[in-house]
Chain A
Amino acid sequence: MMKSRYNIAIYILVIFLSLSAGFQQSPCQTNSTVYKIQIASSTRQIPTEQIQRELSVNDLVTVHFLNKRYKYCVGSYASFEEAQKNLANVPVRGAFVVRIPGSAAQELIGDARPKTTEKISTISPNQAIQPATIEEYKTEKVFALQLAASRVFIDPKTFTSKFSLTEEVRYFQKDGWYKYVIGRFATADEAARRMSQLSFPVFVTSYVEKTPVKKAPPKVQETQEKDDTTKASADTVPPEFDTIRPNLPKGDLKELYNLKIKEADNAYNQLQNLNLARKYYREATLLDPDKNYPKDQIIEIDRQLASKQTRPIYKNINTAVFATIGFILVMVIVLIITLILRTRRQKLSRQKQKLREEYQDSITEYLFNEGTGQPENLREADSQRKKQILIDEIMQLYANLSGEISNKLRELYLDLGLDNESVQKTKSPQWHVRAKGFRELAQMNIQTVNDQIELCLNSTNDILRMEAQLAMVRLNFEEPFSFLNKLEQPFTSWEQLHVYEMIQRYQIAVPEFSFWLSSRNETIVVFAIRMIRAFKQDNAFAMLIPFLKHENYEIREETYMTLGDLGNPQALSLLQERFGYESQPGRLQILRAIGKIPDESNVEFLRGVLEPSSELRLEAADALARIESFGVKGIETILKRSDEDLQAVARHILDNKIHR
């Protein structure tokens, strides 16, 4: 009924539907686009703690690498509006809302690159921390002295040390060049004057400098707008640390502060609105920067907020894309391989068929037409493959031939040097090649590498071991079964039946198998008993008796069957004696064995088995029916008894239509 339940793989399909759906709504997920507030950017990564310290930011600062710059952001919001609302809480001037697409949402760990631990104060601000770009500028043409220019970025500090400068080295980008300059002059003349004082070559240059005129209402900036921040790199906008403090008398400030703290505590404890509480604490710190309580609270709230923030499940959607492409690629490759293999297989099989027919014709003509010389085309079988086809063909024919013709075929095999092929195989490191070699040598009766074969008699590889056994039975003329003396591995029924078949097929002289009854390998004992039974070796009778009490059931069972088949009445009393000690299957075998030796002395015993209600009755009745003195008449008397079951047994025995 249930043929297959393995609806493999396809299940996942719809699972993923739900998976993809599941990713949508959580505002904290960063696998899709989020909005953050950018507070700074840099070309080299700077630890976020440093950013926090320098910009007096208490919020958790995250770093994203976008457009070749490190962007330092706070907060994470699902919508632009939400981010915009929270912008007011960020104490960095010029901060703005930025869209972080899913592909860049992966947050860089602050200390990922320990080499950038240099102090921020020693880095020129325009290179190090770039506070957020401000939208409205006052533009002004400025003159300066250019020291150097380069296609790649060079740390301006290197010029400071190189020229032993006291002045600050700035740089700006123009036409793909980084230009390094000193000084700031309103006119070209002023610049020229300064140039004349210097001991190294510089020249006057000018550029347009943008300076923010007011704190513009921040707008969202698509980070994709390339280099919006780098363009402004020459705009010396140092981070202005927030010092908004209402100009109020001290007493009022304190009162305001207390009020704020109260509001904040209320939001924190009663409303449990962390964002609101954080806002109030923040305002309180502005009112009284010396108090530690609100700062501590902010840190605590940030900690709580950060722990609530879910870690992204899929940090990078690219993984999925790559995996998909990978699966499709594998699929296509597998398909191509399949088709190539198929074509190749079909081609090879056609070739093989053709060769086989060709070889077969040549061989039969050679064998059966007197006077035909050895066929030339067989000698031309030069490749490994052709030789194998030839060997297989010869082997198949050889198995079906006998007498002189088969000798002629064997000679052909030797003449063609195919025995060398077979011998070579026995030296291969690959087990299946060796096993094939054993088989060929055994069949063609080549004894040259018997030692090699004997080495594999105890191999743990089932096939190799069995092929070695069979080869030895065939090739060891003096003692074909001596391998049994060396065999330590279990001698499975599978191997046994092949050896038995070998004996039959090649009419190998059978030894007295009772010799191996003393083997320590119990599976060999089983084999010996089976062979005694198969070849009716009556001499072994006495030696079998001890095995009636063997602890291994399989050996006992084989002994019962063999004693039954040997038909020696001396076994009867011993079998009857064993009956009491056996369980159901053993008892059944004993009854069958006894049934095979119809003898007067059984009647009493069998009647005893017949009496109690048991499923062994049929077997017992059958055994009784075979005893002449009891026979059918005895069974018929049972029919007259009242026991219904027993009557059924009797009817079964008497029913001639049941061929038992």
Chain B
Amino acid sequence: MGVFQALQVIFQYLILGITLSIIVAYLSLAIVSAVNLRRYLRMNSFVDYNSILTCPFVPSISILAPAYNEGKTIIENVRALLSLYYSDFEVIVINDGSKDDTLEKVIKEYDLELVSYFFEYKIPTQDIRGIYKSTNKSFANLLVIDKNNGGKADSLNAGINLAKGKLFVAIDVDSIIESDALLKMVKPFLQQRDKRVIATGGVIRVVNDCIVESGQVSKINLPKKFLPRVQVLEYTRSFLMGRMAWSKLDGLLLISGALGLFEREIVIACGGYFSKTVGEDMEIVVRMRRYMVERNEPYEIAYVPDPLCWTEVPEDTVILGRQRNRWTRGMIDTLNVHRAIFFNKKYGRFGTLGYPYWFFFEWFVHVIEVVGILYFLLIIMFGKPNWEFFGIMFALVYSFAVGLSVWAILFEELTYHKYERRRDVLILVITALLEPVFYHPLILYWAVRGNLDYLSGNRRWGEMVRKGFGAMRAFLRSL
């Protein structure tokens, strides 16, 4: 009995501690982000991005667009990429062994021909079958790589091998990039002083139900369905509150795969994308940070809180479930591979704050939640739940969660106010009221599935890569 009681007490303290720290952490992040967002917007009111366009000494950028079975949209997407505002950039489309007519369509539309392009496998990838360039001079900055299937990371690595730019942008080919996104993302690189800027991330927004014309969002609407709408809230919280704050606290661990700008030389030096994980976008950032710390070079991961990219979020539970499951596995994998960072002072706030935050609040919290639910069920079955107390606690947490979402809606309203109709705000608030009850259990379920899948070894790492793994392991060993 004594042992059981002691365990019970320890458990309660653990849960209380985590809960309080989550509340405190979220509130602090929201405050840090509010302060910095305000400052950013004020500073940004002075910025004229067009100055970059006429300047001869801006870094060249390669846009890497991996495409797998994108036949339906590839033409439009490439056109949108080619019309981005920047003075010195190339677009590299990587056809990752699509089973549909992606390649044929691009070849036809852009007058492509096979060329004898010389390149080296600086980062090992799947075999490249052919490289295409356009005979039309207006598409002179378009390069298409046709390669065997190897996943997104592998495709990006192939793109990096061929890229000429000092910087490269990794994108999801199906997302819509704002036409001034490159200008906004390159600015931190131009502004670097004593710290070397190695990557920039930006805000991703939900495009569902918006009207898109010639590769640009022309009218912004709130998604009609609940599932994408609740993701609007999620993304707003994540990008305007979470990441904004983390970028200030030097704890940013993830730049979304949908859009990120990186220094090519450093990515090559640390071995390119890890093609054996499903969370390559997080892993590369963590590895780049480690690399810089190991080299003792001051660096910075920049974050632009402007909406730069629009993406279609899943509208049904099956696809959303798959996505979240994948995110979970990717996160665990990255945290696991780089566990040496955990509370390691050498890595500064990245090690003592950023990594532990992810570990506890993005991963461990699932475990606690599940244990908590099981414990709660046990109490219902064998004990006497104190419903009054439960009710009050539930109300507390619920009101906190909804309150935070409403705060995020205010952030959106104060910053970019993309949703014009007054009704939209109210709809978002109602969504926020429903989210904890209807959406969160699903998210938890998928996260649990992700954890179980990871544990059971089903990490769904694509097919084996020709030479890839060795270099990566060698890099990790060298750390």
Contacts and interface: CB of A to CB of B under 8 A. Distances in A.
B223 interface: no
B472 interface: no
Interface string B163-181: 0000000001000000000
A324 B115 contact: no
Contacts of B135: 657
Contact of B118 (A327, A498, A533, A649): A649
B45 A432 contact: yes
A23 interface: yes
Interface stretch (A420-428, A489-497, A571-579): A489-497
Given A5-B238, A13-B440, A26 B9 contact: yes
Interface in B9-58: 9, 11-13, 15-16, 18-19, 22-23, 26, 42-43, 45-46, 51-52, 54-58
Contacts of B118: 618, 648-649, 651-652
Given A1-B281, A5-B254, A22 B390 contact: no
Contacts, number: 308
A504 B57 CA distance: 14
Interface stretch (B78-86, B344-352, B400-408, B461-469): B400-408
B204 to A, nearest CB: 5
Contact of B193 (A436, A492, A654): A492
A14 B140 CA distance: 55
Contact of B440 (A4, A10, A18, A498): A10
Interface stretch (A245-253, A330-338, A507-515): A330-338
B372 A2 contact: no
B256 A4 contact: yes
Nearest to A27: B5
Contacts of A497: 51-52, 55, 57-58, 190
A67 to B, nearest CB: 21
A320 B393 CA distance: 7
A643 interface: no
Interface string A119-137: 0000000000000000000
A571 to B, nearest CB: 19
Interface in B298-337: 311, 313, 323, 326-327, 330-331
Interface string A323-357: 11001101100110111011101000000000000
B192 A655 contact: no
Interface residues of B, number: 121
A307 interface: no
A651 B116 contact: yes
B17 to A, nearest CB: 10
A26 B52 contact: no
B404 A8 contact: yes
A8 B194 contact: no
Given A20-B394, A26-B8, A490 B122 contact: no
A549 B393 CA distance: 68
A51 to B, nearest CB: 29
Nearest to A318: B392
A564 to B, nearest CB: 13
Interface string A343-386: 10100000000000000000000000000000000000000000
Nearest to B27: A9
B402 A331 contact: yes
Nearest to A18: B372
Nearest to B424: A342
Nearest to B42: A432
Given A25-B379, A652-B117, A463 B46 contact: yes
A323 B257 contact: no
Given A497-B58, A652-B116, A21 B396 contact: no
A15 B191 contact: no
A17 B439 CA distance: 16
Contacts of B406: 331, 334-335, 338
A309 to B, nearest CB: 11
A4 B244 CA distance: 13
A545 B326 CA distance: 55
Contact of B368 (A10, A15, A494, A500): A15
B133 interface: yes
Given A19-B15, A23-B12, A3 B256 contact: yes
A12 to B, nearest CB: 5
A16 B383 CA distance: 17
A23 B115 CA distance: 71
A342 B115 CA distance: 55
Contacts of A76: none
A32 interface: yes
Nearest to B268: A584
Contacts of B220: none
A15 B133 CA distance: 56
Interface stretch (B100-108, B287-295, B409-417): B409-417
A6 interface: yes
B470 interface: no
Contacts of B398: 13
Q: Which of A5, A341, A342, A497 counts the most B-chain CB atoms under 10 A from its CB? A: A5
Contacts of A323: 396, 400
A592 to B, nearest CB: 11
A18 B436 contact: no
Contact of B397 (A13, A435, A467): A13
B254 A19 contact: no
Nearest to B50: A501
Contact of B13 (A6, A313, A432): A313
Contacts of A16: 19, 393-394, 396-397
A187 interface: no
B375 interface: yes
Contact of B19 (A10, A12, A26, A654): A12
Given A8-B26, A13-B398, A1 B278 contact: yes
B396 A10 contact: no
A435 B46 contact: yes
B58 to A, nearest CB: 7
A268 B380 CA distance: 36
A655 B118 CA distance: 10
Contacts of B117: 652, 655, 658
A8 B58 CA distance: 37
A17 B392 contact: no
B435 interface: yes
B449 interface: no
Given A15-B372, A17-B372, A652-B118, A327 B409 contact: no
A17 B51 contact: no
A475 to B, nearest CB: 17
B137 A659 contact: yes
A339 B12 contact: no
B376 interface: yes
Contacts of A6: 234, 237-238, 241-243, 362
Contacts of A314: 16
B53 to A, nearest CB: 9
B454 interface: no
A4 B241 CA distance: 12
A530 to B, nearest CB: 5
Contacts of B401: 9-10, 12-13
Contacts of B404: 8-9
Contacts of A31: 389
Interface string A220-262: 0000000000000000000000000000000000000000000
10 contacts: A3-B313, A7-B443, A8-B404, A24-B386, A25-B383, A102-B389, A337-B410, A493-B191, A493-B192, A648-B116
Interface of A: 1-26, 31-32, 102, 310, 313-314, 317, 320-321, 323-324, 327-328, 330-331, 334-335, 337-339, 341-343, 345, 432, 435-436, 439, 462-463, 466-467, 490, 492-494, 496-498, 500-501, 504, 530, 533-534, 585, 615, 618, 648-649, 651-652, 654-655, 657-659
Given A21-B376, A32-B389, A615-B120, 19 more contacts: A1-B258, A1-B280, A2-B330, A5-B327, A6-B237, A6-B242, A9-B22, A13-B401, A20-B376, A321-B392, A323-B396, A335-B410, A341-B414, A342-B413, A462-B191, A493-B57, A493-B192, A655-B115, A657-B135
